Structure 1
Amino acid sequence: MSDDTRVLYNAECPVCSFEIDHYAKYSGDRALPIRFEDLNRAEMADWALDRDQAAQRLYVLKDGQMYSGIPAFIVLWQDMPRYHWLARIVSLPGVHWLACKTYDHVLAPLIYRWHLRRQAAATSTNS
């Protein structure tokens, strides 16, 4: 296994894919050692998560350690030169606390509920 940073995200989520596709293009254009894996196609045993858990937030594997939520974004941003400044700002104690609370209690649950509604709608149209 390489030392690449690995990002697990939900490519079927419009919000997630919009942001992560931007990072993937930026990384690909610069040949950065970052791999982006769609949780709908990824080998989940590599992540020790099931697809439902993975759909609830962003996950990043780096140097054998898994990060989730805002810490995952910080690790990802640290690996992309254009976003070093954002990693530094969001790592500041007060900003980090606020970003984590907002992501954990507002954004991630909202996006996850949206994901569940999209899944339910897809299931009902396929029935």
Structure 2
Amino acid sequence: MKPKTCEPAPSDSLTVLFDGACPLCRREIALYRGQAEGQPVCFADVSDPAQVLPAGRTQAELLARFHVQLPDGRLLSGAEAFLALWARLPGWRWLAWLGRLPGVARLMEWAYLGFLRVRPAVQRGFRRWKPD
């Protein structure tokens, strides 16, 4: 199987690394894709074994949290990753601005960590409610 890359990706492109095996994640990414048209944003499904991963990162690590890779190669996760993505999307820039206010990103990260604890149960419920 040929390895997948996020192509074509402009040099200033932000790469969103997401769990395509998660129905909840796919739905959220579909919302972002709808806003990303014409924006320098690339989407990479890290649940796909053929997907090329950032150097030094494992699939399990990338599936455990939401990540984005900046054009310079740095990897952000959690609240910081969401803020970086939202800053690129026209309909979400206001939320990125709000998240940059003092203390807000820290609160967002705290909420995200709480969500990660219940994510497996939410995914199971979502699969029952909306089967693939």
TM-score of Structure 1 vs Structure 2, range by shorter chain: 0.7 to 0.9
Give the C-alpha shift of residue 24 in structure 1. 1.1
Give the C-alpha shift of residue 66 in structure 1. 1.1
Counterpart contact for 2:22–2:123, Cα < 8 Å: no
Counterpart contact for 1:9–1:59, Cα < 8 Å: yes
RMSD of aligned residue pairs (Cα, Å) = 2.2
User: Residue 103 of structure 2 aligns to a residue in which SS?
Assistant: helix
Distance change in 2, residues 1:90/1:40 (3 Å):
same
Percent identity between matched residues is: 29
TM-score of the superposed pair, with normalisation by structure 1:
0.78
The alignment status of 1:69 with 2:78, answered yes or no, reads yes
Instruction: Work out which of the residue numbers 95, 106, 110 in structure 1 matches 2:104.
Output: 95
Unaligned runs of 5+ in 1: 118-127
Instruction: Write out aligned runs for 1:1-127 (5 A).
Output: 2-28=11-37, 31-41=38-48, 42-44=51-53, 46-64=54-72, 65-104=74-113, 106-111=114-119, 113-114=120-121
Give the C-alpha shift of residue 49 in structure 1. 1.6
Between Structure 1 and Structure 2, how many residues are aligned?
Answer: 113
TM-score of the superposed pair, with normalisation by structure 2:
0.75
User: Residue 35 of structure 1 aligns to a residue in which SS?
Assistant: strand
More helix by share: 1
Give the C-alpha shift of residue 55 in structure 1. 1.1
Question: Could you list the per-position Cα deviations for residues 90-113 of structure 1 after superposition, in whole angstroms to 9, with x for gaps in the alignment?
Answer: 222232221111112x112322x4
User: Residue 36 of structure 1 aligns to a residue in which SS?
Assistant: strand
